[in-house]
Amino acid sequence: MKKLRIIILIILGTISADIQAQELDVNLQIRPRFEYRNGYKTLLPEGQEGTSQISQRSRLNFNYKQDEFTVKLTLQNTRTWGDVATTTTADKNGVAVFEAWAQYDITKKWSARMGRQVLSYDNQRIMGEMDWAQQGQSHDALMVSFHPENHQLDLGVAYNSDAENVKQTPYTVANYKTMQYAWYHTTFDKLGASLLLLNTGYEYAATPTKLLIDYKQTFGTYLTYKTAKIDSNLSFYGQTGKSTDLKVSAWNAAANFGYQISESFKAGLGYEFLSGKDTNDGSTVIKSFNPIFGTNHAFNGYMDYFYVGNHLNNVGLQDAFLKLNYNVNKWQFALMPHIFLSAADVVTPLNEKLDSYLGTEIDFTAGFNFKKEITLTGGYSQMFGSKTLEFIKAGDAGHTNNWAWLMISVNPRIFSWKK
């Protein structure tokens, strides 16, 4: 560690003799997480046993600022304990670049950022960092921001290829080919309002020799109202356009209300509707809403039965829930029961219409701030699924479907320098 600091100081000394304002911050994150999965993401089939594993994120963050110029570089490795032998000569996942961007502050109100970056807005329902996932989520993009007092307008664009090609080549990465967005936010006293316009283009092969891009638009608003006691929000989003030559027509709406009963205790309730498609609907129109780049683990139950790599182009979802939070000293506790229903009709091949009730999930989490750089969190969740959920996801609703986890996050600052 001492040698690393000396090397960094020597480099800074040689390149910054004539520069007046500089800052460098280097920090590290080590985040192992144990999980017991016994019906996680989907109902466990009859006769199957659950499983356990430990995953880990390791990140090294470099944050550098020089006058109007800011640079961030984040290197990370994600792994499952034991995914390579103890004598391995190479890591399975290697070291990836999570963030690598440069930003220039053109004026006090205008800035531009380019490179690999996190795009996170509002409550992260449509665009978020996905921090729960050990790998997170970041984009290769150019973003221009206009941010006068009480207003902010971000404009972003991205264009992707899987290599430096010399002729038209199919884009085979499971990602958008092109993306453009505009996000505007303003505040009025206790009110906050955001507007989002997102255009994503996904490439597909219309014929073996012809590549086309279909564009899907996601647009909507996110409103907040906050006082010393009240914390509430309301959102509505629509989706239109095309996907693999199919028309898209979907929508999402949500409302949340929280009240600070005492200094330690907060209670809230919420409801979300994500449109879906009847299972006997023979049309080709995509009616199921897709949260696109959302931090979906934070919504619709922590067991990730919905929209975390699953439940897309399905019957949609209704989610009614309570949220109870209690904080005391260095401890944080939360209890959140969910009641799930389908948003569209569930009809069997025998034309039998099933009940819309999908199940009830109970989520309990606890956190302890051991010290400034160390946080311990954990939780337990259980899904009480219905026969309708069995029909949609298969598996056995009568099985004890539960999930438990324990995570330690260590975040030390290893170097800080300012001139």
What DSSP assignment string belongs to 87-102?
T-SS-SS--EEEEEEE
Query: pLDDT tens, position by position, for the chain (419 residues)?
Result: 555 555 555 555 555 555 568 999 999 999 999 999 999 999 999 889 999 999 999 999 999 999 999 999 999 999 999 999 999 988 999 999 999 999 999 999 999 999 999 999 999 999 999 999 999 999 999 999 999 999 999 999 999 999 999 998 999 999 999 999 999 999 999 999 999 999 999 999 988 889 999 999 999 999 999 999 999 999 999 999 999 899 999 999 999 999 999 999 999 999 999 999 999 999 999 999 999 999 999 999 999 999 999 999 999 999 999 999 999 999 999 999 999 999 999 999 999 999 999 999 999 999 999 898 999 999 999 999 999 999 999 999 998 999 999 999 999 999 999 88
How far, in Å, CA of 298 to CA of 310, rounded?
Answer: 15
Query: What are residue 6's phi and psi, to 5 degrees?
Result: -65, -45
Q: Which residues pair with 201 in a beta bridge?
A: 178, 215
Give the residue extent of every domain in the chain: 2-418
List Cα–Cα distances, 361 to 21, 35, 41, 245, 403, in angstroms.
52, 17, 12, 36, 11
CATH (residue range 2-418) = 2.40.160.100
Q: Strands 139-146 and 110-117, how do they pair?
A: antiparallel
Residue from 139, 201, 203, 199 nearest 171 by CA: 203
